[in-house]
A and B are shown apart, each in its own frame.
Chain A
Amino acid sequence: MSAEAQLECKDVAVRFGGVAALGGVSLTIDSGLMTAIMGPNGAGKTTLLNCISGIETHYTGSVEVGGEPLDRLQPRLRTRRGLVRTFQMTKVFGSLTLDENLFLAASAVDIPLTHEEASEIIHLVQLDRMRHRQALELSGGQRRLLEIGICLAQKPRFLLMDEPFAGLNPMMVKTVCEVMTHFAKRGGGVVVVSHEIPIVRRHADHVVVMAQGKVLASGKPEAVLTDPRVIESYIGGSVARH
Chain B
Amino acid sequence: MLKAPGWITHRRFVDLRTDYLIGVAVIAAAALVLFLGVGGAYGLSVVTAFLFYAIVTLGWCLLAGYGGMFSLAPSTTVMIAAYVSAVASNAGWPMLLAVVLGVASGALMGLIVALATSRLKGHYFALATLVTAEIVRLVVTNEYDLTGGEAGLRTGPLIPGGWDIAMPAILGVSLIVILSGLLFALRGTPGVVIQAIRDDEEIALVRGINVPLVKTLIVVIGSSIMALGGALYVHYIQLATPQMGSLFQTTFVLAIGIIGGIRSISGPIVGAAVVIALQELLRDYPFIHMGLTALAILGVCQFAPAGLAGVVLRRMQAIREKIIFKEHSL
To the question of whether A and B form a pair in one complex, the answer is yes
Segment with Cβ contacts to A, from B109-117, B173-181, B202-210, B246-254: B202-210
Asked if A109 and B195 make an inter-chain contact with CB atoms under 8 angstroms apart, the answer reads: no
Classify chain B: how many residues form its interface, as a range: 20 to 34
Asked if A100 and B192 make an inter-chain contact with CB atoms under 8 angstroms apart, the answer reads: yes
List the A side residues contacting B210 at CB < 8 Å.
Answer: 76
| Max count, chain B CB within 10 A of own CB: residue among A74, A84, A97, A103 | A103
List the A side residues contacting B121 at CB < 8 Å.
Answer: none
Asked if B209 and A76 make an inter-chain contact with CB atoms under 8 angstroms apart, the answer reads: yes
Asked if B209 and A91 make an inter-chain contact with CB atoms under 8 angstroms apart, the answer reads: no
Contact with A along B1-41 (1 / 0, CB 8 A): 11011011001100000000000000000000000000000
List the A side residues contacting B189 at CB < 8 Å.
Answer: 107
List the B side residues contacting A94 at CB < 8 Å.
Answer: 199
Asked if A154 and B207 make an inter-chain contact with CB atoms under 8 angstroms apart, the answer reads: yes
Contact with A along B194-238 (1 / 0, CB 8 A): 011011100111111111000000000000000000000000000
Summarize A's interface: helix, strand, loop or mixed: mixed
Question: How many residue pairs between the two chains, A and B, have CB atoms under 8 Å in the bound complex?
Answer: 81
List the B side residues contacting A207 at CB < 8 Å.
Answer: none
List the B side residues contacting A132 at CB < 8 Å.
Answer: 11
A114 to B195, CA, bound (A): 21
A100 to B13, CA, bound (A): 13
Asked if B207 and A104 make an inter-chain contact with CB atoms under 8 angstroms apart, the answer reads: yes
Decide yes or no whether B274 CB sits under 8 A from chain A.
no
CB distance from A140 to the nearest CB of B (A): 16
A111 to B12, CA, bound (A): 21
Asked if B11 and A105 make an inter-chain contact with CB atoms under 8 angstroms apart, the answer reads: no
Contact of A107 with B1 at beta-carbon distance under 8 Å, contacts A93-B200, A96-B199, A100-B8 already known: yes
Which residue in chain A gives the minimum CB-CB distance to B210?
A: A76
A115 to B10, CA, bound (A): 13
Instruction: Enumerate chain B interface residues (CB-CB to A < 8 A).
Output: 1-2, 4-5, 7-8, 11-12, 189, 192-193, 195-196, 198-200, 203-211
